[in-house]
């Protein structure tokens, strides 16, 4: 029996989208558990997994036990990486 490659590729695309959505929901749930944002807000603000990763790195600094100046220095050192994340958060607050 020959393979219907169009059907196969369509089903594969659907599976990939479903897996990505499930992963995005799980990431959002992890972030919302340590912030005041809901799962839905996380997904809306940071639809890309790479942005969620950057947000996680920023939150790790913010929630660390280090002193304020050390936190500020770490954020400044990574300002190019965190710039978009900070802007998104501030737009949400404004």
Instruction: Name the E strands within the chain.
Output: none
pLDDT, one tens digit per residue, over 1-20 is: 676 778 867 776 787 677 76
How many domains would you assign to the chain?
1
CA distance 7 to 16: 14
- Cα(31)–Cα(67) distance, integer angstroms: 23
Given this model, what pLDDT does residue 16 score? 67
What domain range is 75 assigned to? 5-93
Cα 78 from chain centroid (whole Å): 17
At 40-91, the pLDDT tens digits run 888 889 888 788 888 888 988 988 899 999 999 999 999 999 999 999 999 9
- Burial of residue 88 (CB within 10 Å: 0-12, 13-18, 19+) is middle
**Is residue 45 a contact partner of residue 21, using CB atoms and an 8 Å limit?**
no
User: What's the pTM value of the predicted model, to 2 decimals?
Assistant: 0.67
């Amino acid at each position: 029996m020959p393979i219907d490659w169009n059907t196969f590729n369509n089903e594969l695309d659907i599976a990939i989208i479903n897996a990505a959505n499930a992963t995005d929901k799980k990431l959002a749930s992890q972030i919302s558990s340590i912030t005041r944002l809901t799962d839905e807000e996380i997904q809306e603000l940071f639809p890309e997994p790479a942005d969620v990763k950057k947000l996680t790195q920023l939150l790790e600094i913010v929630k660390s036990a280090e002193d304020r100046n050390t936190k500020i220095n770490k954020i400044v050192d990574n300002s190019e990486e965190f710039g978009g994340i900070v802007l998104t958060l501030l737009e949400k607050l404004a």
